[in-house]
Structure 1
Amino acid sequence: MKRARSWLLLCALHGLASLLLWWSPQAVADAFTWRADRWIQHPWTLWTGAWVHLNAPHLIGNLLVLAAYMTIGWVARPDGRCTLAWLLAWPLVQLSLLLWSEVQQVVGLSGLLHAGALVVAVHLALGRLPIQRARFWGLLLAVAVLSKVALEQAWQRPVVWDGTHELFVVQVAHLAGVGWGILLGLLTALWPANADDARH
């Protein structure tokens, strides 16, 4: 399972950091929150904003999806190219949100999780990961996530109120995540796997 190590470590980082911030004082969470009008003064929030969650359902929902991504790590064995693509998407998803004036701040892993899903979907669909029927599973995953984003219609409703979880959902973060996941997934899938990956 050496191929999946970097992917699993990144999943663990997101999960642990999210939990630590959840139990931190509110002032710490505020300092780590990405805001459209302050991110230049606080550039670290391009990364740390993903770890801030507004309430328990928000945190638990993202952690459950993250657990599914760890399962993907064990089964599909995404290699360092997938991890690199996901790492690059991390700040780029946040920066893309500057295109929408409605977005004043963003917290949570959801945009980044959408990016990770499409990175893996692209690598699977192109047969870059060593599992049976990789192309089928890649296309299935891509269709599922793209259908969800299409139904959200984030280009028309960038931010919506979720009464169930009592928070505003920045749907364009999902859209940005999908876009960067596809682009970076394609770019990294074109790189040859290194010799160590090929042996495992």
Structure 2
Amino acid sequence: MIQQKHNQNLWFIGLSSIFFAVLQLFQNTLIYQSDLFLTQPWRWWTGHWVHVGWIHYSLNVLALACLPLLFPNIQQKVLILLLLVLSPLLSLCFYLFYPQIFAYAGLSGVLHGLFIFCAIVSLQQPQERKFAALLLLLILGKIAWEYRFGALQTEQLIGHPVLTQAHLLGVIFGSICSILTLVFHFNVLNNE
């Protein structure tokens, strides 16, 4: 059973990396652009799946790769569903509430949502509770830091400004999804 989970994690990580790398080749036609919001709806998703460059891609894919390793009990189909749900929610918020955001590329907002979702859901597992609580505090601390002092050193690494609003929106929507999951008792864990 452990070997099967490990193999599934490797497939998820490998296929996600390849998928996002292929999309990166078509970055210009896939990034989020507010002026194309209503006419090119695929960008609601793909704007979060492409990156401003290969360093940005590598950082986000590395963070995504950590997710099933840190939270092996979360079903991968749930992670994929969240990738599909969180992306357009963030894009819609950009369009409605942040009209000054003309263009956006990157997975970090969705990643914040995925990590917060996994941490909140994992609080229900006694063996995962301490780690999940620590990660939850770290994410919330990072969000508070970004709003008080600005983005961490990521801007220098990727060579572009970091959109901290995406991180906050990801945390908000990831939290909402996790609360709905718990309230309606959706099965998101492998061991249930």
What TM bracket, shorter-length normalisation? 0.7 to 0.9
- Return the offset for 1:144: 0.7
- Return the offset for 1:188: 1.2
Assess, with a 3 A threshold, how the Cα gap between structure 1 residues 9 and 88 changes in structure 2: closer, same or farther.
farther
1:122 equivalent among 101, 120, 123: 120
2:167 matches 1:166:
no
1:47 equivalent among 32, 38, 45: 45
1:72 corresponding residue in structure 2: 70
Q: What is the TM-score of this pair, normalised by structure 1?
A: 0.78
Q: CA RMSD in A?
A: 3.2
Q: Over residues 111-140 of structure 1, what are the superposed CA-to-partner deviations in whole Å (9 max), with x where a residue is unaligned?
A: 110000011011012x1x5xx532222211
Q: What is the TM-score of this pair, normalised by structure 2?
A: 0.81
Contact 1:6–1:83 (CA under 8 A) maintained in structure 2: no
2:90 corresponding residue in structure 1: 93
Amino acid of the residue matched to residue 93 of structure 2? S
Contact 1:4–1:73 (CA under 8 A) maintained in structure 2: no
Amino acid of the residue matched to residue 90 of structure 1? S
Gapped regions of structure 2 (runs ≥ 5): none
2:132 equivalent among 138, 143, 148: 138
Supply the distance in 1 between the matched residues of 2:10 and 2:113 (Cα, whole angstroms).
16
2:57 corresponding residue in structure 1: 59
Contact 2:68–2:74 (CA under 8 A) maintained in structure 1: no
Contact 1:86–1:181 (CA under 8 A) maintained in structure 2: no
Amino acid of the residue matched to residue 89 of structure 2? L
Gapped regions of structure 1 (runs ≥ 5): none
Amino acid of the residue matched to residue 48 of structure 2? A
1:177 corresponding residue in structure 2: 170
Contact 2:51–2:57 (CA under 8 A) maintained in structure 1: yes
Aligned residues: 187
